[in-house]
Amino acid sequence: MTKEKLIELINDIADKIEENKDYLTDLDSAIADGDHGINMARGFSAVKEKLQTVEDKDCGTILKTVGMTLVSTVGGAAGPLYGTAFMKAGMAVGGKEEINGEDFIKMMEEAINGVKMRGKSEAGEKTMLDAMIHAYDAFKEGLCDGAKSAIKKALQASMDGVEYTKTIKATKGRASYIGDRSIGHQDPGATSFTYMMECINDII
Ligand code: ADP
Ligand code: MG
Ligand code: MG
């Protein structure tokens, strides 16, 4: 993926988040404070503005700029967590003009570790990590058949990750306040991650 495609991708993600803002907020209302869609849409609208200033930069700088913008414009948990994920992903491809499949593995690895560190969270706590880790595992396993089919598998795996979040109780974030009553509901942060995977799948 060239940096031009990367810019296009991030704009697509911003549009997809905006389109699904109400749905994400409804999901968050069911188990927490009902602002995930609002938070993400605010962050990605700022990202869209900021992107115009880094269009000629390398992939690492572009991704780091996305991350810093999310951290600085989004209150709540997801902003700093996604912000960290994008910043870490950017550091994995510093100076690069293109991103290949092996790079994407490194980006995902760094992003997941960044979220784990910042969120003090692990797999199985009903968070965005459950979608991210499922996607990462599927992509890594599928890359031998080419990036396009690996992304398709990773998208499906991220959706499976969201289904999985319905079966477990939240032990991190605001949804953990309602304990067992969070079971049966899907995690909003895991859901927003599947939108990012959908956009990658559509563009690649
Ligand atoms: P807030 O919970 O502060 O209102 P959001 O509603 O925007 O922020 O984001 C909630 C999402 O953030 C959750 O659905 C979950 O996926 C994710 N999340 C919350 N806490 C953590 C954590 N400690 N680690 C990983 N992800 C988390
Ligand atoms: Mg919330
Ligand atoms: Mg909130």
Q: Output the CA 78–ligand 2 centroid distance in Å.
A: 8
Q: Where are the alpha helices (DSSP H) in 34-92?
A: 36-51, 59-73, 78-92
CA dist 22 and 35 (Å) reads 9
Contact 121 CB / ligand 1 (< 6 Å): yes
Q: How confident is the model over 84-103, as a mean pLDDT?
A: 98
> pTM for this one?
0.97
Confidence tier at 76 by pLDDT (50, 70, 90)? confident
Contact 131 CB / ligand 1 (< 6 Å): no
Contact 196, 43 (CB under 8 A): no
Contact 116, 122 (CB under 8 A): yes
DSSP 161: H
Secondary structure tally for the chain: helices H, strands E: 9, 0
Both tokens assigned to 121: 């969270």
Q: How confident is the model over 178-198, as a mean pLDDT?
A: 97
CA dist 39 and 199 (Å) reads 19
CA-nearest residue for atom 5, ligand 1, is: 36
- According to the model, what pLDDT value does residue 104 have? 98
Q: Output the CA 168–ligand 1 centroid distance in Å.
A: 15
- According to the model, what pLDDT value does residue 75 have? 83
Q: For residue 190, give the ligand 1 atom closest to its CA.
A: 16
Give residue-wise pLDDT tens across range 9-40: 999 999 999 999 999 999 999 999 999 999 99
Domain boundaries, the chain: 3-203
CA-nearest residue for atom 13, ligand 1, is: 189
Give residue-wise pLDDT tens across range 34-71: 999 999 999 999 999 999 999 999 999 999 999 999 99
Contact 190 CB / ligand 1 (< 6 Å): yes
Q: Output the CA 26–ligand 3 centroid distance in Å.
A: 13
The residues, any chain, with a CB within 8 Å of residue 56's CB and separated by 6 or more, are: none
Q: Has domain 3-203 been given CATH number 1.25.40.340?
A: yes
